[in-house]
Amino acid sequence: MSHLSLAPDFDFPAAGKQVLAVERAGLAQLDQYINDDFRRACEKIFFCSGKVVVMGMGKSGHIGRKMAATFASTGTPAFFVHPGEASHGDLGMVSAQDIVIALSNSGESNEILALIPVLKRLSIPLICMTGKPESAMGKAADIHICVHVPQEACPLGLAPTTSTTAALVMGDAMAVALLQARGFTSEDFALSHPGGALGRKLLLRVADIMHSGDEIPVTAHDASLRDALLEITRKNLGMTVICDDNRNIEGIFTDGDLRRVFDMGVDLNKARIADLMTAGGIRVTPNTLAVEALNLMQSRHITSVLVAEQNRLLGVVHMHDMLRAGVI
């Protein structure tokens, strides 16, 4: 049949759902393989003084790359080495302090089998993840992790589908188990993801994004309401902070307060800001995480927050600053 021919009654959603059903059944089999071998493998990795080196050919190689990346981002130093390239010099990246995890559904990958004698000679621990414990790789492994599945989702039984999903899930299980054993925190995770949104949320401090110096809208205690409005307009943050000569905070006045003043019929030229301000003001310290300051603003329904040490004004953070920094 030509690849351009399509049976008029072919049901794509039904075919897709059949794949999901087969792969779910395959994953259901994995519980039995979270066993003593799994524990020993995790312990070996936990106490490893070097790195985890993941290897795999073809589709197993793609899974191996993702597995190494997941390990590395969750507190277990790891990298991927292509077995074919390893035979031509890249094996030099593997040290005696490392552990090798080799993936192959059949357990008969020639490229990996060619490396095993060298790994054994260097006394490098070998963890093999295959679907066949009696395979050459299964027998050669110091620890074998079984990821056998009843069938592939491919109706021809040829394309790696359920088997690669099982290997991927088993790798995730190992990485997350190790993460928990290490007491790995969200801040640890952010340190390895500084360029991502999560990194920005977890690493960015208020001091990194606040307005400071002349950018802060500040009004003296004895100033008029008119002076305060001019300062709000100049600094464009929708508020001003009322301070004494040493920048100690006495209160704030916002554009929301101005609307209330209009309702009161106050004379803008004669009114003193000290009589109209809101005493105090919600504040955070410079070392506060930006995401914590954002949560505070959202919970209090305000658009800016003061940054201070004790009572001394150091800066102001506006909701727009959070948006520009990618915290929102």
Per-residue pLDDT of the chain (328 residues; tens, 9 = 90+): 446 788 888 999 999 999 999 999 999 999 999 999 999 999 999 999 999 999 999 999 999 999 999 999 888 999 999 999 998 989 999 999 999 999 999 999 999 999 999 999 999 999 999 999 999 999 999 999 999 999 999 988 889 999 999 999 999 999 999 999 998 776 666 666 555 556 666 678 999 999 999 999 999 989 999 899 999 999 999 999 999 999 999 999 998 888 888 777 777 778 899 999 999 999 999 999 888 999 999 999 999 999 999 899 999 999 999 888 888 7
What are the residue ranges of CATH 3.40.50.10490 in the chain? 12-184
Distance of CA 66 to the CA centre of its chain: 15
| Start-end of CATH 3.10.580.10 domains in the chain | 206-325
Q: Report the half-sphere exposure of 147 (CA within 13 A, side-chain side).
A: 30
> 137 near 36, Cβ under 8 Å?
no
- With CA atoms as reference, report the closest residue to 187 among 207, 209, 210, 204: 204
pTM: 0.67
Q: Which residues pair with 78 in a beta bridge?
A: 52
Q: In this structure, what DSSP letter does residue 238 have?
A: S
Q: Give the homologous superfamily in CATH for domain 12-184.
A: Glucose-6-phosphate isomerase like protein; domain 1 (3.40.50.10490)
Task: Bin 183: left if φ > 0, else alpha if -120 < ψ < 50, else beta.
Answer: left
Amino acid in position 296:
L
Residue 252: closest CA among 230, 284, 221, 213: 221
Residue 11: predicted pLDDT:
92
Q: In this predicted structure, what is the pLDDT of residue 1?
A: 44
Other beta carbons within 10 Å of 119: 22
CATH topology of domain 206-325: CBS-domain (3.10.580)
For residue 108, the model assigns a pLDDT of 97
For 316, counting Cβ atoms within 10 Å of its Cβ (0-12 exposed, 13-18 middle, 19+ buried), the class is buried
Structural tokens at position 321: 């600053």
Helix (H, G, I), strand (E, B), or coil: what is residue 304?
strand
Residues, the chain: 328
- Using an 8 Å Cβ cutoff, are 55 and 115 in contact? yes
* Alpha-carbon distance values, 32 to 12, 24, 186 (Å): 33, 15, 30
Q: What is the CB neighbour count within 10 angstroms for residue 181?
A: 14
In whole angstroms, how far apart are CA 295 and each of 84, 186, 197, 201, 313? 50, 17, 16, 11, 21
Q: Give the position of tokens 């351009």.
A: 4
End-to-end C-alpha distance for the chain, whole angstroms: 52
Nearest to 46 by CA among 69, 21, 18, 77: 77
Distances (CA, A) of 328 to 112, 205, 320: 46, 14, 9
- What single-letter amino acid sits at 118? V
List the alpha helices (DSSP H) in the chain.
12-28, 36-46, 58-73, 83-86, 110-113, 116-121, 136-140, 162-182, 186-191, 197-203, 206-209, 225-235, 255-264, 273-276, 290-300, 319-325
Place of tokens 């803008």: 268
The confidence score (pLDDT) of residue 209 equals 93
Q: Which residues of 266-276 are buried (b: 16+ CB within 10 A; e: fewer)?
A: eeeeebebbeb
